[in-house]
Homo-oligomer: A and B are copies of this chain.
C-alpha cells in the first residue's frame, strides 16, 4: 500500500512539474477519493491547490472529506471564497460538522459564511449535541416518507430528494408530527407492488436511538441488529437524523483504539502516530507514569519495613522481581479479559459474584501449576546449578507458596476493580495493567514477607 503510493506520488509530482494537466486529470478521475486524499496528504504544499482544482466538483468534495485536517486547513486557506463555497455546498452535513469541529476559529468563520443559511442552521444544531453523543455523529440528511405514499410515489419522492441524502438504502416513515413510525428499505420499496402504500410495506417496530445517548450505544446497536443506518430521535420521538454505518465503524475503531491506549496507561490522542509530536506524547504518557511511580512509594515502604528480614535471608531478594512480574501479569490477563467483556456488553455488575468465583478457580489452577514448576526450577537451577547456598528448600517453599497466593489474589483484584469502576461510571479500561500491577506488587510483597516470617522464623 505504502509503496504503491510512493511511486504514484513521484509520477504525479513529475507530471505536475511538467504542467501536464490533462494527463494528471485523467489519472486522478479514475481514482477513488480516499486514495486521492491519501496521495494529496503526501504532496508538497505548492502543488496541492493546483491538483485539487483539477478534480471534478463532486470528486473534489469527496476527496476533501477524506484528507488529513492539516491538509484541509492548508487548502481552505488557499481557497478563494467562491472555491470554498463550491466545496462546502457539496459536503454532507455530518462531514461539514466534522470539518467545523477540527478547524481553528478563523477558518470556521469563513466556512460558516460560505455555507447557505439552511446548512449553517443544520451544522449549528448538530454542534449543540455533546461530544460522543449519538446526535453529534448523525447526519440530518435522510429520506422521510409518509405512510400513505404508494411505492410509485415513494420512488418519485426519492428521485426528487434522494440526491442530497447520505444514504437512501433505508427510508423512514414519519407522521404529521414528524414522529418516527416506520422504516422501509429501498429494496422493499422496489420489490413492492406499484400501488402498495408505505404503511403496508414498512417495518413498524423501528429501533431508534435518542440524540443524547452515548455513541458507543449506537455502535453496539449496529453490531447487534446489522443495520446500515440507525434513526436518531429527540425526546418527543421526532426523527431528527440518522447515523450511517460508515460513521459507526469509525466510532468503533476510535473507541477500540481509546480502550487499548487507556489500558496501556496512555491518555488517548486522536491523531496518527507520525503526526503526533514528541511533546504531545509526553503529555499523554507522563501523568500515569508519575502517578504510578509515586504510588510505588508503598512498595518501597513495605521493603523498608521488612529490611531486617531481607538482611537475614538475602536469598529472598532474588525472587522479588519474579513474584512481582508474575503477579502483575496474572492480574492484567484477568483485567484485560473482564474489561473487554464489559465493553462488549457480555458482562454487567450483576455478574460480579459469578466472575469472582470463576477467577478464583482459574487463579487456583494457574497458581498451583506455576508453583509446582517454580519449585522444580528453583531447586534445579538456583540450588543445584548455580550452587546458591542461600536458596534452601524452605526458601523455595516460601517462594512457591507466595507465588500461588499472589496469582490467586491478582486474579481476584484484576476482575473486581474493572467491574467496580464500570459500576461507578468510570471507564473500566483505566483499571488495567499498569494500575493493577502497582496494587498487586504491594500485595505480593506483603504476602511474601508474611509467609517468610512464618516459614523461616524471622
Q: Are B329 and A434 in contact (CB under 8 A)?
A: yes
Q: Are B358 and A286 in contact (CB under 8 A)?
A: no
A432 surroundings in chain B (CB, below 8 A): 264
Answer yes or no: A293 CB below 8 A from chain B CBs.
yes
Known: A253-B344, A289-B326, A325-B296. A278 touches B362 (CB 8 A): yes
A1 surroundings in chain B (CB, below 8 A): 345
A274 surroundings in chain B (CB, below 8 A): 346-347, 351, 354-355
Q: Are A362 and B314 in contact (CB under 8 A)?
A: no
Q: Are A317 and B303 in contact (CB under 8 A)?
A: yes
Answer yes or no: A256 CB below 8 A from chain B CBs.
yes
Complex Cα–Cα for A249 and B256 (A) = 12
A441 surroundings in chain B (CB, below 8 A): 321, 325
Answer yes or no: A307 CB below 8 A from chain B CBs.
yes
Q: Are A253 and B252 in contact (CB under 8 A)?
A: yes
Answer yes or no: A285 CB below 8 A from chain B CBs.
yes
Answer yes or no: A18 CB below 8 A from chain B CBs.
no
Answer yes or no: A384 CB below 8 A from chain B CBs.
no
Q: Are A159 and B191 in contact (CB under 8 A)?
A: yes
Q: Are B249 and A329 in contact (CB under 8 A)?
A: no
Q: Are A350 and B155 in contact (CB under 8 A)?
A: no
Q: Are A297 and B190 in contact (CB under 8 A)?
A: no
A332 surroundings in chain B (CB, below 8 A): 264-265, 433-434
Nearest chain-B residue to A302 (Cβ)? B321
A307 surroundings in chain B (CB, below 8 A): 314, 317-318
Q: Are B336 and A266 in contact (CB under 8 A)?
A: yes
Answer yes or no: A260 CB below 8 A from chain B CBs.
yes
Which DSSP category, helix, strand, loop or mixed, fits chain A's interface? helix
A358 surroundings in chain B (CB, below 8 A): 278, 281
A322 surroundings in chain B (CB, below 8 A): 293, 296-297, 299-300
Count residues of chain A with CB under 8 A from any CB of chain B.
121
Q: Are A299 and B317 in contact (CB under 8 A)?
A: no
Pick the most buried of A32, A245, A285: most chain B CB atoms within 10 A of its CB.
A285
This chain's copy number in the assembly: 2
Nearest CB of chain B from residue A389's CB, rounded to whole Å? 11
Q: Are A318 and B292 in contact (CB under 8 A)?
A: no
Known: A278-B362, A285-B362, A340-B260. A386 touches B319 (CB 8 A): no
Nearest chain-B residue to A341 (Cβ)? B273
A31 surroundings in chain B (CB, below 8 A): 205
Q: Are B155 and A168 in contact (CB under 8 A)?
A: no
Partner of A266, one of B246, B299, B333: B333
Partner of A249, one of B223, B272, B377: B223
Nearest chain-B residue to A65 (Cβ)? B226
A407 surroundings in chain B (CB, below 8 A): 289
Partner of A169, one of B169, B336, B374: B169
Q: Which of A107-115, A126-134, A365-373 contacts B (4 or more CB under 8 A)?
A: A365-373
* Residues in chain A within 8 A of chain B (CB atoms): 1-2, 30-32, 34, 155, 158-159, 162-163, 168-169, 186-187, 190-191, 205, 207, 222-228, 245-246, 248-250, 252-253, 256-257, 259-261, 263-266, 272-274, 278-279, 281-282, 285-286, 288-290, 292-294, 296-297, 299-301, 303-304, 307, 310-311, 314, 317-322, 324-326, 328-330, 332-333, 335-341, 344-348, 350-351, 354-355, 358, 361-362, 365-366, 369-370, 373-374, 377, 381-382, 386, 388, 403, 407, 432-434, 437-438, 441, 445
Interface contacts beyond A34-B225, A264-B432, A266-B337: sample of 12 additional A-B pairs, CB < 8 Å, sorted by A: A2-B348, A169-B187, A186-B187, A223-B246, A263-B263, A264-B433, A272-B341, A278-B365, A285-B333, A294-B373, A303-B318, A324-B324
